[in-house]
Structure 1
Amino acid sequence: MSIRLNRAQPYALGLFRVVIGFLFACHGAASLFGVLGGSMGGGTVPAGTWPGWYAAVIQLVGGTLVALGLGTRVAALISSGSMAYAYFKVHQPEALFPLQNGGEPSAVFCWAFLLLVFTGPGAVAADRLFSSRAGSAHKDEPAREQTPAVSV
């Protein structure tokens, strides 16, 4: 069973990337265009306002890039940083723990994107379509551990 799970790992990671990116992009679209329930106030974030409008642009663009698997690590790093900023600047001053300060989405997105920075996009990422070298298709995947042969 472990072997099958290990083989499915890149696909599970790819699905994780798509879902997290899509959900993040939805937050940006809601804030920028008032769709899907709009921003927290029910409307849109006024263009150019700090930090709300910039955060919404990062959410929409970063989430879309991550979901597609285009520049995943860079987009995930920027998205993770924006969520860390949101947590520590907006939520954490209200109370210490995410359950108390309403910062759970920011904290979860921050850590999910940080995970993607280190793991890469997984399988079925658009980056793989644009790789120019044949060997570069697996450059973002972690190295497989080699188990030494045991002779008895």
Structure 2
Amino acid sequence: MERLHVWSPRVLSVLRIIVALLFMEHGFMKLFQFPGPQPGAPSPLPLLLTAAGALEIFGGAHILIGLFTRPFAFLLSGMMAVAYFTAHASQGFWPGLNGGEPAILYCFVFLYFVFQGGGEWSIDAQVRKRP
């Protein structure tokens, strides 16, 4: 197990990168219908969903490269909590039935990044290493 511990900061970076790419996809689907339209999104997109899509792309890009990871993760975690309670919780208690599982997972993964940072392969870590 000790050998695995050495890899922890790198695996954290891999998790950050994968989560950011998946999160950004939601923004691209909302704003640009790429790689397809966001399922269930109205057309034209209301201002709140347009702002959410912009945050998903812009904030996701910062998470992707690991720049200002903690503040952007805090912002995105809150955004996903709001998304859950405004779009999913009113459709029933159980997240598996109300479609809110992804929102909850993103919320708590981003919250984890607030406390853990972006990992070894992030711009934040490279800036900290400079003398």
The whole-number CA distance in structure 2 between the counterparts of 1:72 and 1:29 is 20
- In terms of fraction of residues, the more helix-rich structure is 2
Structure 1 position 39 matched with structure 2 position 38? yes
Greater C-alpha Rg:
1
Query: TM-score normalized by structure 1?
Result: 0.79
The whole-number CA distance in structure 2 between the counterparts of 1:71 and 1:130 is 11
Query: TM-score normalized by structure 2?
Result: 0.91
The whole-number CA distance in structure 2 between the counterparts of 1:32 and 1:17 is 23
- Alpha carbons 2:80, 2:107 under 8 Å: kept: yes
Counterpart code for 2:67: L
The whole-number CA distance in structure 1 between the counterparts of 2:99 and 2:72 is 24
Tell me the residue number matched to 1:101.
98
Residue by residue, what CA displacement relative to the aligned partner does 1:14-70 show, whole Å, maximum 9, x if unpaired?
Answer: 000000011101110111111111222478653xx3321111111111111101101
Secondary structure, counterpart of 1:92 in structure 2: helix
Tell me the residue number matched to 1:15.
14
- Alpha carbons 2:118, 2:125 under 8 Å: kept: no
The whole-number CA distance in structure 2 between the counterparts of 1:28 and 1:72 is 18
User: Residues 24, 106 of structure 1: CA spacing in aligned structure 2 closer, same or farther, 3 A cutoff?
Assistant: same
User: Residues 89, 122 of structure 1: CA spacing in aligned structure 2 closer, same or farther, 3 A cutoff?
Assistant: same
Secondary structure, counterpart of 1:51 in structure 2: helix
Tell me the residue number matched to 1:28.
27
Tell me the residue number matched to 1:75.
72
The Cα shift of 1:133 comes to: 4.5
Structure 1 position 50 matched with structure 2 position 47? yes
RMSD in angstroms over aligned alpha carbons? 1.8
Number of equivalences: 131
Secondary structure, counterpart of 2:106 in structure 1: helix
The whole-number CA distance in structure 1 between the counterparts of 2:34 and 2:53 is 13
Calculate percent identity across the aligned residue pairs.
34
Match of 2:61 among 55, 60, 64: 64
Unpaired runs of at least 5, structure 2: none
Tell me the residue number matched to 1:147.
none
Tell me the residue number matched to 1:6.
5
State the structure with bigger RCO (CA 8 A, min sep 6), 1 or 2: 2
